[in-house]
C-alpha cells in the first residue's frame, strides 16, 4: 500500500472520522510544509515515549519528574482526596478543572452503549471498584460524583455504575451523587462551559 492510502486508513480509525474526512486530512498534509509534517510525525512518536497513563485515575499525562506513576492531579497533596469525580474521558477533566473542582478524578474510558451485553467491556468499572476499595480502606472517600454526559448512553452508564457502586457506598459509607441541573439534555461534559459545570456540581444530588 502507498503512503497516501496507508495514512487515509490510519485517519479513518480516529473517532468520528469517515473515509471522506480522512482523505481530506491526507490532502491537507500533501499541501503542507515539509517542516509541519516532520514536526507532526515527531510529536506522534514522542506521544509514546513522553506520556503515561496515571495508575490511579487512568488519564494520560506528560512525564514530569518522578510522581510514582501518578499524574499531577493525583500526586498533588493539596487536592481534596475524599471526593472522586468520575468522568467519561480525559478531555472532560480539563473542563471540570476550569469549574474550580478540587477533588480527584477517575476516567472511565467511555460510556456503555445502550445495547451492550457486557457493560464491563466498555468502561473501567472494575478498576473504579478496586480504587474505591483502596480509598475506602483508608477511610478517606466521602463522595463519588458520577459526572456523565446528559445523553442516553451517559444515563445508561450512570445506571450501571450506580448499581455497581451502591452496595459499596453503603458498606464504605460514601455518598454517591450525580451532576444536578444545568447540563442541558444531550450535552457532553467536554463541551459544557465551566460555569455550567460549576452550577451542575453545586446542585448535585
Ligand atoms: Zn491521576
CA–centroid distance, residue 33 to ligand 1 (Å): 37
CA–centroid distance, residue 105 to ligand 1 (Å): 7
CA–centroid distance, residue 106 to ligand 1 (Å): 7
CA–centroid distance, residue 73 to ligand 1 (Å): 6
CA–centroid distance, residue 89 to ligand 1 (Å): 12
Nearest to 87 by CA among 187, 11, 154: 154
Calculate mean pLDDT across residues 160-175.
85
Q: How much of the chain exceeds pLDDT 70, in percent?
A: 92
127-156 pLDDT per residue, tens: 877 766 555 445 478 899 999 888 888 888
Nearest to 86 by CA among 63, 58, 114: 58
CA–centroid distance, residue 76 to ligand 1 (Å): 9
Average pLDDT over the chain, rounded to an integer: 85
The Cα–Cα gap between 83 and 191 comes to 23
Least confident of 25-34, 147-156, 188-197: 188-197
The Cα–Cα gap between 115 and 67 comes to 39
Helix (H, G, I), strand (E, B) or coil at 67: coil
CA–centroid distance, residue 104 to ligand 1 (Å): 8
CA–centroid distance, residue 53 to ligand 1 (Å): 8
CA–centroid distance, residue 71 to ligand 1 (Å): 4
CA–centroid distance, residue 72 to ligand 1 (Å): 7
- Residue 132 confidence (pLDDT): 62
The Cα–Cα gap between 96 and 85 comes to 9
94-124 pLDDT per residue, tens: 989 998 999 999 999 888 888 877 777 778 8
CA–centroid distance, residue 198 to ligand 1 (Å): 21
DSSP letters spanning 82-145: TEEEEESSHHHHHHHHHTT--SEEEE--S---TT-S-GGGTS-HHHHHHHHHHHHHTT---EEE
The Cα–Cα gap between 190 and 94 comes to 8
CA–centroid distance, residue 52 to ligand 1 (Å): 10
CA–centroid distance, residue 69 to ligand 1 (Å): 8
- Residue 186 confidence (pLDDT): 64
Please check the confidence at residue 162 and state whether its pLDDT lies above 80.
yes
Predicted structure pTM score: 0.77
C-alpha cell at 15: 473517532
C-alpha cell at 13: 480509525
C-alpha cell at 74: 493525583
Angle between helices 194-202 and 90-98 (to 10 degrees): 80
C-alpha cell at 86: 468520575
Calculate mean pLDDT across residues 69-96.
90
Amino acid at each position: 500500500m502507498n503512503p497516501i492510502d496507508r495514512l487515509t486508513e490510519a485517519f479513518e480509525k480516529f473517532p468520528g472520522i469517515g473515509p471522506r474526512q480522512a482523505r481530506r486530512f491526507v490532502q491537507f498534509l500533501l499541501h503542507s510544509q515539509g517542516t509541519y509534517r516532520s514536526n507532526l510525525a515527531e510529536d506522534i512518536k514522542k506521544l509514546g515515549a513522553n506520556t503515561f497513563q496515571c495508575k490511579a485515575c487512568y488519564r494520560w499525562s506528560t512525564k514530569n519528574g518522578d510522581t510514582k506513576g501518578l499524574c499531577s492531579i493525583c500526586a498533588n497533596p493539596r487536592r481534596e482526596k475524599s471526593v472522586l469525580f468520575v468522568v467519561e474521558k480525559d478531555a472532560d477533566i480539563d473542563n471540570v478543572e476550569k469549574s474550580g473542582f478540587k477533588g480527584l478524578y477517575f476516567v472511565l474510558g467511555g460510556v456503555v452503549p445502550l445495547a451492550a451485553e457486557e457493560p464491563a467491556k466498555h468502561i473501567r468499572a472494575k478498576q473504579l471498584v478496586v480504587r474505591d476499595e483502596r480509598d475506602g480502606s483508608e477511610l478517606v472517600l466521602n463522595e463519588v460524583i458520577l459526572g456523565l454526559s446528559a445523553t442516553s448512553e451517559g444515563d445508561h452508564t450512570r445506571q450501571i455504575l450506580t448499581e455497581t457502586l451502591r452496595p459499596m457506598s453503603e458498606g464504605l459509607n460514601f455518598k454517591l451523587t450525580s451532576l444536578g441541573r444545568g447540563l442541558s439534555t444531550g450535552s457532553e461534559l467536554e463541551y459544557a462551559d465551566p460555569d455550567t459545570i460549576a452550577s451542575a456540581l453545586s446542585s448535585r444530588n
